[in-house]
Structure 1
């Protein structure tokens, strides 16, 4: 019997990635308060948030598999989540300019008889950016619904000098590892 994947997220990027690799899914959004997870450890934060989201979505049949995830950017022992406003986005991009930071995505896979959680880490280096480049970027609509205030898959690609690790993890879902975990 084939399992039905339930994506516990409204993230357009996660939906796009699942469609890209032709994994059928339905969406069931969790109703959670993310502020209840207040650890400053980025690995623990994404793990706990993925678990919180994944456990909030009910399993309605024995054939369902719940998939939840959360992504943060971390630099210099600070977690960069989604920016609150333009000034917040400007500060984040300024701090990431010219340095290597890390992107962590916590993933939970849950079914009637299984619960698996893993964290993927990718290192990203930004070019040194001028004030004009940062201002141009944060004036776009792009930074405001993304961890670390950038999207590597669109205009944010112009900020990135190199990545070490899974590109799709930076988008919000380490799709290759996810597929392997779903099979295993």
Structure 2
């Protein structure tokens, strides 16, 4: 069992996301949360998983000097890739509306990258899930944004919320990945790292 293998390791989750913290708890992992702010900007030439890989990796930089030999630092980033561009976290209602309207009636990809760092290695993995929205009405988009204020979510929505229940027709790939953490890959990669 992974929990037994990790007993001599200190797991650090560098994420303020309640969803990611909840997944760690659900996986029965002992961990601590450490937060440092990082400016989430990326070079314009990067596409798809290259963006989330890059952002997950730069989030690890402020912690590297303080890692001890038995620490495993985990950073991650989730992006939405639609029409050959990244949809990040909307700054306001107008941006959230534009994002959801652009995805309405089409498919997009949700990509999460996870970076694992110790004093000796750095490894980054990523996972892509294809999500299809049915055609959403303007009233539905307005209702969702007004009631759920999804400004902390890539693409301006949370799949586990109302809009996911009424609007998503099809998912190809990991559901937890769309929520911000591909738990199956996290578990496997951690197992490989400490075996």
- Please report the TM-score for the alignment, with normalisation by the length of structure 2: 0.89
1:39 CA drift (Å)? 4.1
Structure 2 unaligned regions, length at least 5? 1-6
CA distance, structure 2, for counterparts of residue 82 and residue 36 of structure 1: 14
Matched residue, 1:156: 163
Matched residue, 2:128: 121
- Flag the 1:157–1:86 CA change in 2: closer, same or farther, 3 A: same
Alignment of 1:1-184 (within 5 A): 2-58=8-64, 59-158=66-165, 159-184=167-192
Would the aligned equivalents of 1:8 and 1:68 in 2 still touch at CA under 8 Å? Answer: yes
State which drifts further: 50-59 or 28-37. Answer: 28-37
1:111 CA drift (Å)? 0.6
* 1:58-81 deviations in Å (ceiling 9; x for gaps): 343211100000000011101111
Structure 1 unaligned regions, length at least 5? none
Would the aligned equivalents of 1:37 and 1:48 in 2 still touch at CA under 8 Å? Answer: no
Would the aligned equivalents of 1:65 and 1:111 in 2 still touch at CA under 8 Å? Answer: yes
- Flag the 1:88–1:11 CA change in 2: closer, same or farther, 3 A: same
1:138 CA drift (Å)? 1.3
Would the aligned equivalents of 1:142 and 1:151 in 2 still touch at CA under 8 Å? Answer: no
| Aligned-partner SS, 2:147 | coil
